[in-house]
Amino acid sequence: MNKKKIIILGSTGSIGKITFEIIAQNKKNFSVELLSTNQNLSLAIKQIKKLNVKKLIVTNKKKYLDAVKFFKKSDVKIYNSFNDLNNCFKDKEIYYSMISIVGLAGLKPSINLIKKSQNIAIVNKESIICGWSLIKKKLDRYNTNFIPIDSEHFSIYSLLNSRESKIIDKIYITASGGPFLNQSLNKLGKIKISQALKHPTWKMGKKISIDSSTMMNKVFEVIEAKKLFNIKYKNIKILTHPKSYLHSIIKLHNGLIKLLAHEPNMKIPIFNSIYLDKTYKITSKKIDLKILNNLNLNLINEKKFPLVKIIKILPENDTLYETALISINDFFVDMFLKKKIDYRKMIKLIFKYALHKSFLKFRKIELKKINDIYKIDKHIRIKLEKENI
């Protein structure tokens, strides 16, 4: 039996590592063809040895040269750019591609791998938020199956059949509320970075942990849901749910209400995205009846989390404003993590520039090509840097 070929971009990050280990547990049926990393070459080398991987992309120049030197006498091929993906594989040769690269760097390889893959899984929010219309066009052209990996979007994806996807009335996505759900507003100015990074239920990277604490990640998830499931913003709601056990609720026009729950462990959506065509058993905890009997669902408090108000001014069509929003948020989160601004000021500045007239103009500019995204991102970062040094 031929093994199914797998690609993992960002294999040394949190999602990439989980994906790799799931594949490693069933290596008789899968063959990992290519991995990628930016800095963590030591882990990538261990992964290559464990599953006999023959191709590696290292985007950091110094680490790339180190990798070339390390693998000099082996048959492992080392690349420095995601552009090399175009020449590495035949069309539809790859069974499953996982894109878990952070930031806008994940957009181009996502688009490039659609042609090569039967199934493509994307956990990269920026790719979907900024470039969904470009991704969707490629998916349709090459008949590639798309799988969202965020727990909220994977749960919606799992609940809907092809008929039901056309009769959605409302989508509710849940939010733990982060570390400051019960924090008084007047204490936000004294928040330390370590406190903002201490997520109560999920283990995540620094950037997304900060976004979770401000609820900006839910703004992004609403944008993703709108694009992925072709529904208007007014029909998507956010509910706080501190235990992160219930991930989405869907109300359909036929009166049915569907809910999906699982423990807060990203291994579950990743595992199920790989084993789409077969039923395999995953080790998981028993159903927690205490949580189910007290889901503690509430509409999000906009006074405590003012960034969610941005949803009200989002354009229904795909524009360059989504890229502007990503860039604004990234810039000020980075400033907070570098201790250049405090927590409260970070939130105020994100909100200020999200509603600034010089950036709101992008709501009227339709996304046409991928380079527009990178140009706008660069333009906004330069402008913000000049104004906020």
> Which residue range is the domain that position 130 belongs to?
4-149
pLDDT in tens, 279-315: 778 888 999 999 999 999 999 999 999 999 999 999 9
Task: Note whether 338 and 387 are within 8 A (CB).
Answer: no
Angle at 149 between CA 115 and CA 61, to 5 degrees: 65
Task: Note whether 385 and 332 are within 8 A (CB).
Answer: no
Clarify whether residues 186 and 283 are in a common domain.
yes
Does residue 366 form part of some domain?
A: no
End residue of a domain, out of 260, 288, 307: 307
Clarify whether residues 39 and 137 are in a common domain.
yes
CB count in 10 Å sphere of residue 287: 12
Does residue 377 form part of some domain?
A: no
CB count in 10 Å sphere of residue 112: 18
Distance CA 296, CA 312 (A): 25
Clarify whether residues 303 and 201 are in a common domain.
yes
145 φ, ψ to 5°? -80, 130
Buried b (16+ CB within 10 A) or exposed e, 65-104: ebbbebeeeeebebbbebebbeebbeeeebbbbbbbbbeb
27 φ, ψ to 5°? -70, -10
Q: Is the pLDDT reported for residue 196 higher than 90? A: no
Clarify whether residues 154 and 291 are in a common domain.
yes
Does residue 104 form part of some domain?
A: yes
Clarify whether residues 162 and 34 are in a common domain.
no
Does residue 174 form part of some domain?
A: yes
Does residue 107 form part of some domain?
A: yes
End residue of a domain, out of 149, 178, 195: 149
Q: Is the pLDDT reported for residue 146 higher than 80? A: yes
Q: Is the pLDDT reported for residue 185 higher than 70? A: no
Does residue 326 form part of some domain?
A: no
Residue-level pLDDT at 103: 86
DSSP 168-216: EEEEEEEE--GGGTT--GGGGGG--HHHHT--SS----HHHHHHHHHTH
Does residue 364 form part of some domain?
A: no
**Number of compact structural domains in the chain:** 2
Clarify whether residues 230 and 295 are in a common domain.
yes
Which DSSP letter does residue 145 get?
Answer: E
Q: Max CA-CA distance within the chain?
A: 63
Q: Is the pLDDT reported for residue 144 higher than 90? A: yes
Residue-level pLDDT at 180: 87
pLDDT in tens, 67-115: 999 999 999 999 999 999 888 999 999 999 999 998 888 999 999 999 9
List the 298-299 sheet strands across, edge first: 257-261, 246-252, 168-175, 236-240, 298-299
Residue-level pLDDT at 278: 67
Q: Is the pLDDT reported for residue 1 higher than 70? A: no
CA dihedral of 371, 374, 376, 378, whole degrees rounded to 10: -140
Q: What is the CATH number of the domain that holds 9?
A: 3.40.50.720
Clarify whether residues 142 and 159 are in a common domain.
no
243 φ, ψ to 5°? -85, -10
Task: Note whether 241 and 252 are within 8 A (CB).
Answer: no
End residue of a domain, out of 107, 130, 149: 149
Does residue 88 form part of some domain?
A: yes
Clarify whether residues 136 and 193 are in a common domain.
no
Q: Which of 249-263, 305-319, 375-389 has the lowest mean pLDDT?
A: 375-389
**For the chain, percent of residues with pLDDT exceeding 70:** 98
For the range 122-127, what are the long-range contacts, defined as Cβ-Cβ under 8 Å and sequence gap of 24 or more?
122/146, 122/147, 122/148, 122/149, 123/15, 123/98, 123/99, 123/149, 123/150, 124/99, 124/100, 125/150, 125/217, 125/220, 125/221, 125/224, 126/326, 127/99
Clarify whether residues 28 and 93 are in a common domain.
yes
Clarify whether residues 144 and 43 are in a common domain.
yes
Clarify whether residues 145 and 158 are in a common domain.
no
Clarify whether residues 136 and 241 are in a common domain.
no
